Amino acid sequence: MGGPIRHPTRAMGDLIARVAARPHSPRRDERGSVSIQMIILMPVMFLVMFTGMQAALYYHARAVAIAAAQEGARAAGSENGSRESGVDAARDFISQAGGSDALTSSSVSGSRSATTATVTVTGQSLSVIPGWKITISQSSSVPAERLT
């Protein structure tokens, strides 16, 4: 019928010996390929990582700025509110939300008319890229409360 049945481990050993006996061709030599891959991939990985961190810092600072503007506008638009009380409420909110750790170089301005109260918060987001400043400006307006 067929040839003698060989033991599986012996057949595997023969296969390994034949593969090991083959001369290595230059194109199959992959020494140093991991170093080249890391040189190419590491900057890309760092770029993705820092871009994600920068986006998170920007959106956090933006959220703090809009929340502070809304808080200030509510205070300025209340029945007994004023422009100054709105600006103070926005500044207090920024300091409680992290101050310069969330929104650096922040400034708050506001206005109140007979019908509307508006507060604007301007500042800069923290940056993981040295020298790059991202300016954020958020405003909020509410109707002024009044008795008629």
What's the pLDDT tens digit per position in 98-147?
888 888 899 999 999 989 999 999 999 998 888 888 999 999 999 998 87
pTM here? 0.71
What residues contact residue 116 under an 8 Å CB cut-off, 6+ apart?
77, 141, 142, 143, 144
Binned at pLDDT 50, 70 and 90, residue 32 comes out as: low
C-alpha dihedral (43, 48, 51, 55), degrees to nearest 10 = -170
Tokens 């230059």: give the residue.
26
The C-alpha atoms of residue 125 and residue 51 are separated, in whole angstroms, by 14
CB 121 within 8 A of CB 90: yes
3-state SS class at 11: helix
pLDDT digits (tens, 9 = 90+) for 54-75: 999 999 999 999 999 999 999 9
The C-alpha atoms of residue 16 and residue 10 are separated, in whole angstroms, by 10
